[in-house]
Structure formats: structure tokens, C-alpha cells
Amino acid sequence: MKDEYDLSKAVRGPVVPLPPGKTRVMVALDDEVLDWFRLKVHAMGGGNYQTLMNAALREHIAREQEPLEETLRRVIREELGNAAQADDEVPQRTVRSKGEDSRVAAERASNPPHGKAA
């Protein structure tokens, strides 16, 4: 290490300049928030957690600026999609008439499951 350094030609500022439209800021975040974004980027196979945070903030802003009518339509579409998924996952019950119940019971009695007597 030298005793003295010549800083007469030094320039203040970041070593790597930012692209147009970007601003460097200092922000304090909860550890859990930062960890979540870092884990999410890692699970996606790499990338930059700051880019992911920027995308999340942009999405939040877009939703905040969304007109009420569009919000309602989006929510209804999401709920209808969720309901359709739930219908696919739940087995449907068959409703039979009284006569049909008697016929089904008679068939079961005459055709017991294997290994059981009627």
C-alpha cells in the first residue's frame, strides 16, 4: 500500500453507471422479505432478486391504478376459474329416483362382491 495516492483525476460516482430510467436508492427491507425474493430467484434457476422486486412493485402499481370495473372482472374470472378447478377435483354424486335405488339395491344383493355371500 502506498503512503499517498493521487486523486486529482478521480471522478465521484458509481463505478458502473446505471442504464437510463433507473435510479440507485438505499432502502431498508425486512430480512424475511429480502430472503423470500432471493429464494424465489434461486428456485427459478437464477437471476436478479432486484429485478424480481421491481416486477412485483410494477404489478402492484398496475393493480392499484386498475379501474374498479376491471378489478371486479379480474376477480370474478379468477373465482370462476377456481370454482371450475374445484369441481374437477370433487367427485360428483349421482342422484337417483326411488325406483332406481330399489333396482340398484336388488342388483347388489344378487351380485355380491367377491368373497362375500349374499
For residue 100 the three cell numbers come to 332406481
Mean pLDDT check: name the lowest of 23-37, 42-56, 95-109. Answer: 95-109
Distance between CA 116 and CA 98 in Å, rounded? 26
Distance between CA 70 and CA 56 in Å, rounded? 19
For residue 62 the three cell numbers come to 398496475
This prediction's pTM: 0.49
Q: Where are the alpha helices (DSSP H) in 1-97?
A: 31-43, 49-65, 68-89
Helices 49-65/31-43 angle, 10° precision:
110
* Domain boundary assignment for the chain: 31-91
The pLDDT of 26-33, averaged and rounded, is 95
Q: Which residues contact 110 (CB under 8 A, 6 or more apart)?
A: 118
Max mean pLDDT range (17-21, 51-55, 62-66): 51-55
> Contact 34/49 with Cβ under 8 angstroms?
yes
